[in-house]
């Protein structure tokens, strides 16, 4: 029997990696849906290659262009309101990898149609985890984290979310492209230097977040929510070669160190194939003794990476403050990539906006529904624009 799946964001790096893995493995798979935003040409190409009958192109302009180019066998939709027309029963697996806050609604909407969902969309977990959890429970859908750090923790916990036996969880950070750059030179950086990650091939936005280490702030928030563990049991360690992704110390003082090569193919593959159904390039990813022998660690220098201090101010209970952090950082990084602000402004302005009294109030507000989250998202972005005089 064929395994039925869907990929939200199939034209992005995670989606393309999953399709690459599927193309090299067995043919016992039926892809029911692929989605993208603007890259309709690639989406149509993917649909043709994998014989996919349904695609969603969310950008209206490119949706209309896709209609002109489409194969007669492919049904094209413009949004996620008609998922009931695509799925008549529950499918086996969904990869949700749409980038940004716009991936939140599709992620929540598709939960009811799948037995298993893997979420690579940080914003959905950070901003709407309470809503996602309710949907998962309601529709009896299994959740698998796919970020290399969270997948590693989940693996160390023997593929469960029970953390009663955990004493401490350490997520590792490469330190990004600026780890060895003196603080005095951070103000006069070229964008190309900021985007030059030493270990990973990533998009521009996540590369900037890696350089400021805001990505680690987000990953700690994700870990707190996913594993329902207190912030005081979570920490970050700088590990420049990125071979070890997480370290879990248990209450009995046993320590699990989870390592794998710097490729997302490994967590993606293992989120899809269970119980050793197939092997992923078994000779390609052998133990790397050189990296293991050079597995140096160090504490984060919060003077150089001050955004890490934000973790001290995040409420213990879920709040709309997390949405503020996502929206403010996203807006500032976008301005930086458009060369409208300096690199140092990302940090300075972010630290400034979270000190506003109207923003601090968000720490006591719980996200009751998607509208609450979207309103705070829009409000925060408007505050950033006002602050920058845009």
pLDDT tens for residues 358-377?
999 999 999 999 999 999 99
CATH 3.40.50.720: which residues of the chain? Answer: 3-145
pLDDT of residue 4: 96
DSSP category for residue 131: H
Whole-angstrom distance, CA of residue 52 vs CA of residue 56: 11
pLDDT at 114: 98
In the chain, CATH 1.10.1740.10 covers 315-390
Distance between CA atoms of residues 318 and 265, nearest Å: 31
Nearest CA-CA partner of 268 in 98, 384, 103, 96? 96
pTM: 0.93
Contact 6, 33 (CB under 8 A): yes
Residues 315-390, CATH architecture: Orthogonal Bundle (1.10)
- The tens digit of pLDDT for each residue in 76-108 reads 999 999 999 999 999 999 999 998 899 999 999
Residue (of 213, 198, 174, 188) closest to 297 by Cα position: 174
pLDDT value of position 279: 60
- CATH classification for the domain delimited by 3-145, as one of 3.20.20.80, 2.102.10.10, 2.60.40.10, 3.40.50.720: 3.40.50.720
Q: Report the chain's mean pLDDT, rounded to a whole number.
A: 92
C-beta of residue 97 within 8 angstroms of C-beta of residue 19: no
Judge residue 377's burial from the number of C-beta atoms within 10 Å of its C-beta, 0-12 exposed, 13-18 middle, 19 or more buried. buried
Neighbour order of strands in the sheet with 255-259: 234-238, 166-173, 244-250, 255-259
Mention every residue, 6+ apart, whose C-beta is less than 8 A from residue 37: 11, 57, 58, 59, 62, 98, 102
Name which of 47-51, 169-173, 283-287, 378-382 the model is least confident about.
283-287
Q: Are 24 and 50 in contact (CB under 8 A)?
A: no
- The residue with greater pLDDT, 28 or 103, is 103
């Amino acid at each position: 029997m064929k395994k039925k799946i869907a990929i939200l964001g199939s034209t992005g790096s995670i989606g393309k990696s999953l399709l690459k893995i599927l193309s090299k493995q067995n043919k016992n798979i039926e892809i029911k849906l692929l989605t993208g935003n603007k890259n309709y040409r690639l989406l149509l190409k993917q649909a043709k290659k994998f014989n996919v009958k349904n695609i969603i192109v969310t950008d209206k302009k490119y949706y209309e262009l896709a209609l002109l180019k489409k194969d007669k066998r492919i049904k094209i939709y413009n949004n996620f309101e008609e998922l009931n027309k695509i799925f008549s029963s529950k499918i086996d697996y969904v990869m949700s990898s749409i980038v940004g806050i716009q991936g939140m609604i599709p992620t929540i909407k598709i939960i009811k149609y799948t037995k298993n969902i893997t979420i690579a969309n940080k914003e959905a977990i950070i901003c709407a985890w309470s809503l996602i959890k309710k949907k998962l429970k309601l529709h009896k859908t299994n959740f698998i984290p796919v970020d290399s750090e969270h997948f590693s923790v989940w693996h160390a916990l023997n593929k469960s979310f029970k953390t009663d036996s955990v004493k401490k969880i350490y997520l590792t950070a490469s330190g990004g492209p600026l780890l060895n750059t003196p603080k005095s030179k951070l103000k006069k950086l070229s964008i190309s230097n900021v985007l030059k990650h030493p270990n990973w091939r990533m998009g521009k936005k996540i590369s900037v977040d890696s350089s400021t280490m805001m990505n680690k702030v987000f990953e700690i928030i994700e870990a707190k929510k996913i594993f329902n563990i207190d912030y005081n049991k979570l920490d970050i360690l700088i590990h420049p070669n990125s071979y070890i992704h997480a370290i879990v110390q248990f209450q009995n003082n046993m320590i699990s160190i989870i390592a794998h090569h710097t490729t997302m193919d490994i967590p993606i593959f293992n989120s899809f194939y269970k119980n050793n159904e197939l092997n992923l390039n078994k000779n390609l990813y052998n133990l790397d003794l050189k990296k293991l022998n050079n597995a140096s660690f160090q504490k984060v220098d919060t003077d150089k990476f001050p955004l890490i201090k934000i973790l001290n101010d995040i409420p213990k209970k879920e709040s709309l403050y997390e949405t503020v952090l996502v929206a403010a950082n996203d807006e500032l990084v976008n301005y930086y990539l458009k060369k409208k602000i300096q690199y140092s402004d990302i940090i300075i302005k972010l630290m400034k906006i979270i000190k506003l009294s109207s923003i601090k109030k968000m720490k006591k507000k719980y996200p009751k529904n998607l509208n609450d989250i979207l309103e705070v998202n829009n409000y925060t972005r408007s505050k950033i624009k006002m602050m920058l005089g845009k």
